[in-house]
Amino acid sequence: MKIIAAIVVVCASMLVAPPATAQRASAVYKGQEAAVAWLGLLDSGQYAASWDQAAPQLQRAVSRPRWKASVPAQRAPLGPVVARRLKWANYAETLPDLSAGQYVILEYETRFANRVSAAETVTPIKDANGIWKVGAYGIR
């Protein structure tokens, strides 16, 4: 009977996601939540607020005045967002030129009024307080 119980426990444990996998899935989910909220700021023209709510990595890379000038200049010709779909998400603990941490790289296929398809890459970063903030953004 003990052998059967041990087999049941082993089999049951195989059905549950390993902790690392569950943690990665949770990180991707939380990173995506942060990205969607932050993209909402961009979509509504709240560029200063998007910089204010970004991770320090983005703020160090681009000054607030430069962000407020360059992002609208880049997005205005595209028109308003019509649709956005997540193409892929990837969790990473290291990225080139960045210190070790927790990162989620998200790529969205975005349709704008004046452009059928654009790729937006958003990289949320988990900060020391456990809060996910966008540390990088690109559109092509």
H helices of the chain, where?
2-15, 19-43, 47-52, 56-61, 64-75
Contact 121, 138 (CB under 8 A): yes
Q: How many Å apart are CA 75 and CA 80, to the nearest integer?
A: 8
Look at residue 97 in the predicted model and tell me its pLDDT. Answer: 78
The CA angle 118-120-123, to the nearest 5 degrees, is: 170
pLDDT digits over 117-132, tens only?
999 999 999 999 999 9
Domain coordinates of the chain in residue numbers? 19-139
Residue 68 three-state SS? helix
Classify domain 19-139 at the CATH superfamily level: NTF2-like; domain 1 (3.10.450.100)
As a whole number of angstroms, the distance between CA 140 and CA 132 comes to 24
Place of tokens 């690109």: 138
Q: Which of 118, 125, 128 is nearest to 104 (CA)?
A: 125
Contact between 84 and 39 under an 8 Å Cβ cutoff? The reply is: yes
pLDDT of residue 96: 85
By C-alpha distance, which of 100, 62, 128 is closest to 50? Answer: 62
What residue ranges of the chain have pLDDT lower than 50?
1-17
| pLDDT value of residue 19 | 58
